[in-house]
Amino acid sequence: MESNRHTDTTDEPALQALQRDPAAQWKAFLPIAMVSIASTLNSSVINVSLPVISQALGAGIGVVEWVVMSYLLSLTALLMIAGRVGDLYGRRRTYQWGILAFTVASALCGLSTSIGMLIAFRTLQGAAAALVVAVAPALIGEIYPPAQRGKALGLFGATVSVGLTIGPPLGGFITDWLGWRYIFFISVPLSLLSIVLVRRYLPEDHTHERPSFDWPGSLTLGGGLLFLLLALSRGSDWGWGSPMTLAMVLMAGGLLALFVRVERSLDNPVLDLRLFRHPVFRSAAAAGFLAFSSLFSQTFLIPFYLVQLRDFTTAHAGLFLVAVPVTMAVAAPAAGALSDKIGTRGLCMLGLAVLGISFVLQATFGVDTSAGWIVLALVLTGLGIGTFNAPNNAELLSSVPRHRMGNASGMMGMTRTLGMVVGVALSSAIFTGVRDALLNGGSAAGSAEAPHAFLAGMRWSFLAAAALALLGMVMVWGRGKGAERMEG
């Protein structure tokens, strides 16, 4: 799939010994799980603290939201590049540097004295997180042979769910009792301990011939994704037809088109476009993007439904929302382990079917829907994405040669974060369009028709999310039964 200039960067005898030793595998998995929890915690604790940060640093809502946005933009723009860095320069080495940079950036965020400093250090933190997020699944793919990858990736997904579950309540507690700066400091000791464990338990990198790094491809890909994310995330505020949004879209399209042209002419591109000729890689990447687009369409709207329409407190709404990551934490390891035995295609389709059904149920929510019905629908959401994600990730990793696992790993992260942004943008556009049309452009927002308009907008958004899940099922079906567990 690539010229003979590629190189595998991991100590082969040590890796083979590791794959035969279950105890050593779990020791190697431990620091990866710890870093996953630390990085996920760092993302999930921040939202609940934004009002306090805004007041402490004297920043308005329009400015303080960049504390979240700057992290997301740098993370997503650099994921594919970070995965390729791991392929070329050693995955353990890249992972260690990523953890160290993330730790330093976290400490600097906590020490920030102005909103500008905090946003700058959050941008650095997102870049560091890209090294960690992009390389972690590739490391798991090396530690565990293909027949055990589903189980391992399922457990890795469970660690993400743990961070998502405990993040909001922990963030609220830390902010109330210690101050907002400590939400950044909490990840420092866990990350430092992880570096020690990585050095002790993960096989060393042994790089031989090292191809030159693809700077033109990296710059055009990173820039194109950055402009695309800005357009998608800010389009509703700027106006989808505004000159600013259109300029962002044109810049994104131009840079990404240039990226494709550059990559086709290189022997060692940052993203080998020939990977997309593989039906499994292509369908798994597309299905992952569609699944997370549909998931975050729901994630964006449900809190507004619970708090604004149903008048639940934020604490009560949080308890409802915990149903999704808790169910994911249970479903992901089980689905991953089962996929090692029966294959991935059926489980991926089942997960997307359950996900779509959960959105159809949520489209029926009204002003007096019972708490039990709400919880059932949210549990099905967690069950669906948990059943889908680990088998799909295992299939994506297994569809590429080992020296391209960083590419596949980066693709996992990029489809997830791009799906998140697209899902929120799509959900917001549909919801706002339907609601405002029923309220005569929003002029009747305080009228008796407002709840009806809110529910109508939410209903169409959830039905669109269900359609995305259905399209994901079509992509999985298209990979065919015989396409499972291919190695390049």
Query: Which tens digits make up the pLDDT trace of 432-461?
Result: 889 888 887 554 555 557 889 999 999 999
pTM of the model: 0.81
CB-neighbour burial class of residue 24 (10 A; exposed 0-12, middle 13-18, buried 19+): middle
What's the one-letter identity of residue 173?
F
End-to-end CA distance of the chain: 7
Same fold flag, 1-199 and 271-488: yes
Q: Which CATH class name applies to 271-488?
A: mainly alpha
Alpha-carbon span 289 to 295, nearest angstrom: 10
Which token pair is 442? 């929003």
Name the most confidently modeled range: 58-62, 98-102, 147-151, 406-410.
98-102
Helix 115-143 / helix 371-398 crossing angle, nearest 10 deg: 60
Domains of the chain by residue range: 1-199, 215-265, 271-488
CA distance 62 to 168: 21
pLDDT at 17 over 50: yes
**With contact defined as beta carbons under 8 Å apart, do 471 and 270 qualify?**
no
Strand (E) or helix (H) holding 140:
helix 115-143
Average pLDDT, integer, range 471-477: 94
Residue 159 amino acid letter: T
Tell me what the pLDDT averaged over the chain comes to. Answer: 86
How many other C-beta atoms are found inside a 10 Å radius of the C-beta of residue 84?
27
As assigned by CATH, the class of the 1-199 domain is mainly alpha
Q: How confident is the model at residue 302 (pLDDT cuts 50, 70, 90)?
A: confident
